[in-house]
């Protein structure tokens, strides 16, 4: 049974939509913009990458894209992620998996400093052997580069791993790497995404399936 579990972060462990909408809404308010971000409409944008998400949600108020994403990330870096941003049963489930001897890792397109902040704020940091977020000069998922860094950190081969995520991008990454993919349905996948057979509506069900060895 694979003992190394590699998780996406946003949409899989953390519901980051609210904090992103809060930051972007503050930016709009400071500009006197009347543009309003609908939290539900915003959800699918959480998985497409920061720059595209910020541009889409700022809409007509978006200025220079590079400046906008830099400002968004500056604000994000000084905000605290609330523990209740964790999806239901994530903290307990990760602890159970860790205590059962699984090695846990993060592979996220979120910038490295923000990933580390989120894990610290939510108390999850100590559970992960490897934490890999986006960094300069390294292509993001679904390219294999970030996953390659995770594997090097863990010192393992692909056939010892599972990938757990919530979006088409995560699925594409797992397929390209040739490792089993487990999908959580509550995240940021687009409505037309066809969920794979190994799909879970709740993190508790995912945890139980992994512990029982019932997965691809």
pLDDT tens per residue, range 9-19: 999 999 999 99
Predicted confidence at residue 192, as pLDDT, reads: 87
> Average pLDDT of 43-67?
91
Predicted confidence at residue 151, as pLDDT, reads: 96
Architecture of domain 4-15+86-212: 3-Layer(aba) Sandwich (3.40)
What distances in angstroms separate CA 28 from CA 15, 23, 71, 190, one per listed residue?
Answer: 22, 9, 12, 25
Residues 132/111, Cβ–Cβ less than 8 Å: no
Predicted confidence at residue 106, as pLDDT, reads: 98
Instruction: State how far the Cα of 28 lies from the Cα of 62, in Å rounded to an integer.
Output: 9
Which pLDDT tens digit goes with each residue over 158-206? 989 999 999 999 999 999 999 999 999 999 998 889 989 899 999 999 9
Query: Residue 104's pLDDT band (boundaries 50, 70, 90)?
Result: very high
Residues 48/84, Cβ–Cβ less than 8 Å: no
3-state SS class at 161: strand
Predicted confidence at residue 50, as pLDDT, reads: 85
Average pLDDT, the chain: 94
Structure tokens at 202: 């709740």
Element (H, E) at 129: strand 128-134
| Per-domain boundaries in the chain | 4-15+86-212, 17-77
What distances in angstroms separate CA 18 from CA 22, 119, 149, one per listed residue?
Answer: 6, 17, 29
Residues 151/157, Cβ–Cβ less than 8 Å: yes
Other Cβ atoms within 10 Å of 161 Cβ, number: 22
Give catalytic residues, as residue numbers.
Answer: 8
Kindly tell me if the per-residue pLDDT of 215 is higher than 80.
Answer: no
């Amino acid at each position: 049974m694979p003992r190394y579990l590699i998780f996406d972060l946003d949409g899989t462990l953390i519901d980051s939509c609210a904090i992103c909408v809060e930051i972007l809404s503050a930016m709009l308010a400071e500009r006197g913009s009347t543009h309003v971000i609908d939290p539900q409409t915003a959800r699918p944008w959480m998985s497409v990458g920061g720059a595209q998400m910020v541009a889409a949600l700022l809409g007509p108020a978006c200025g220079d894209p590079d400046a906008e994403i830099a400002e968004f990330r500056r604000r994000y870096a000084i905000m605290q992620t609330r523990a209740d941003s964790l999806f239901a049963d994530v903290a307990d489930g990760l602890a159970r998996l860790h205590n059962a001897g699984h090695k846990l890792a993060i592979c996220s397109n979120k910038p490295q400093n923000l990933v580390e902040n989120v894990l610290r704020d939510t108390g999850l940091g100590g559970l992960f052997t490897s934490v890999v977020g986006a960094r300069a000069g390294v292509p993001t998922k679904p390219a294999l580069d970030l996953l390659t860094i995770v594997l090097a950190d863990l010192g393992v081969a692909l056939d010892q791993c599972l990938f757990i995520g919530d979006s088409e991008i995560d699925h594409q990454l797992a397929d390209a790497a040739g490792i089993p993919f487990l999908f959580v349905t509550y995240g940021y996948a687009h409505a037309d995404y066809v969920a794979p057979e190994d799909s879970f509506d709740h993190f508790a069900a995912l945890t139980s399936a992994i512990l029982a060895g019932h997965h691809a």
